[in-house]
């Protein structure tokens, strides 16, 4: 989490700089990373210190046993097996950078999504009794050990998906133009090397997809529509789409639902203001409002 917190600090570069020229925005990030009081480099040095002996031992085992060596199945081994990796002189900065990026993607986004869910639940009392009843039905003993239990929580899943739709990033899924150019249907062209992202609000707040009032929260919007939170589509891009859709989304969704189910059963959850506080948008990234959540232990009848 230390890495996630430091990375979020880097993102607080004024997005107006990007409107002047993307290069200025990129350089401002680089300058903050190199010369600012950012701890990311120190954290990366700690990771390198931890993984270097492990990688050296694996490469020693591989040289000793050759094809008879059975390597571990994990992220480090995946990176070592990539084309172009020099096993005689491993690039520890590159490997540690990937491991930190994976850590950020797996932990920070799950925490953010869970917080958004809880803020929406805590500020919408009309859903409390209904969702509590569902949790008591499918999680009677507070022991969610069966994924089949979680899959049956259709109301919880629909509520979560709606929370993610309305609180996700505004601008995301950035790709680089690798062909000679990218030509849009309106004739606009982007040259090779351009960075292209998707303005997700055009998708998640589209009245053709979500009706005449797409800004309105409808916790049961997806009930009975065979559209679980884990399903990626042109209407829901929170986890990306196609071959590059988030591979850990099912695991993350189950984590969120397990935690949320237990919290809903054990506590009455409210926001301090009794309203849904708005998220903060920084450089197109949506951050949950830091307004405190109040947890009041339920009294069993």
- The one-character DSSP state at 236 is B
Question: Quick one: which of 273, 100, 281 has its CA closest to 200?
Answer: 281
Average pLDDT, the chain: 86
Q: For residue 145, what pLDDT is reported?
A: 73
Domain boundaries defined on the chain: 116-300
Q: List, for residues 175-189, the tens digit of each pLDDT value.
A: 788 888 888 889 989
Q: Report the C-alpha gap between 160 and 175 in whole angstroms.
A: 27
- 268: β partners: 296
- 286: β partners: 281
Q: For residue 226, what pLDDT is reported?
A: 92
Helix (H) or strand (E) holding 181: strand 181-183
Mean pLDDT, residues 200-229 taken together: 93
Q: List, for residues 80-107, the tens digit of each pLDDT value.
A: 999 999 999 999 999 998 898 888 777 8
Work out the pLDDT band at 147, boundaries 50, 70, 90.
confident
Q: Report the C-alpha gap between 133 and 19 in whole angstroms.
A: 49
Q: Report the C-alpha gap between 75 and 79 in whole angstroms.
A: 6
Q: CA–CA distance from 155 to each of 68, 83, 110, 131, 207 (Å)?
A: 50, 45, 20, 7, 23
H helix runs in 238-284, sequence order: 249-266
Work out the pLDDT band at 73, boundaries 50, 70, 90.
very high
Is 246 annotated to bind a ligand? Reply is yes
Q: List, for residues 35-69, the tens digit of each pLDDT value.
A: 555 577 788 888 999 999 999 999 999 999 999 99
Give the end-to-end CA distance of the chain in Å, rounded to a whole number: 39
Max mean pLDDT range (131-140, 241-250, 277-286): 131-140
Q: How many residues does the chain have?
A: 301
CATH 3.40.50.11540 is right for the domain spanning 116-300: no
Q: Over 90: is that where the pLDDT of 148 sits?
A: no
């Amino acid at each position: 989490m230390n890495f996630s917190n430091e990375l979020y600090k880097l993102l607080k570069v004024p997005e107006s700089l990007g409107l002047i020229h993307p290069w200025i925005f990129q350089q401002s990030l680089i300058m903050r990373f190199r010369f600012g009081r950012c701890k990311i480099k120190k954290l990366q040095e700690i990771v390198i210190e931890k993984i270097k002996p492990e990688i050296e031992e694996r490469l020693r085992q591989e040289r000793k046993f050759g094809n008879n060596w059975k390597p571990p199945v994990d992220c480090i081994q995946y990176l070592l097996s990539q084309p172009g990796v020099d096993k005689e002189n491993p690039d520890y900065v590159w490997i540690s950078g990937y491991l930190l990026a994976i850590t950020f993607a797996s932990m920070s986004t799950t925490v953010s999504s869970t917080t958004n869910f809880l803020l929406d639940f805590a500020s919408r009392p009309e859903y409390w009794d209904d969702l509590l009843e569902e949790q008591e039905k499918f999680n009677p003993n507070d022991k969610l050990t069966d994924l089949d239990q979680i899959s049956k929580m259709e109301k919880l899943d629909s509520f979560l998906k709606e929370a993610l739709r309305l609180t996700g990033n505004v601008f995301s899924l950035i790709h680089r133009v690798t062909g000679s150019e990218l030509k849009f249907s309106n004739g606009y062209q982007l040259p090779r090397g351009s960075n292209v992202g998707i303005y997700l609000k055009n998708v998640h707040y589209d009245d053709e997809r979500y009706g005449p009032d797409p800004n309105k929260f409808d916790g049961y919007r997806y009930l009975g529509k065979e559209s679980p939170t884990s399903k990626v589509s042109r209407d829901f891009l929170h986890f990306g789409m196609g071959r590059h859709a988030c591979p850990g989304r099912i695991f993350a969704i189950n984590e969120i639902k397990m935690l949320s189910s237990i919290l809903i059963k054990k506590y009455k959850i409210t926001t301090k203001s009794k309203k849904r506080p708005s998220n903060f948008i920084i450089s197109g990234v949506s951050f949950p409002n830091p307004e405190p959540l109040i947890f009041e232990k339920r009294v069993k009848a």
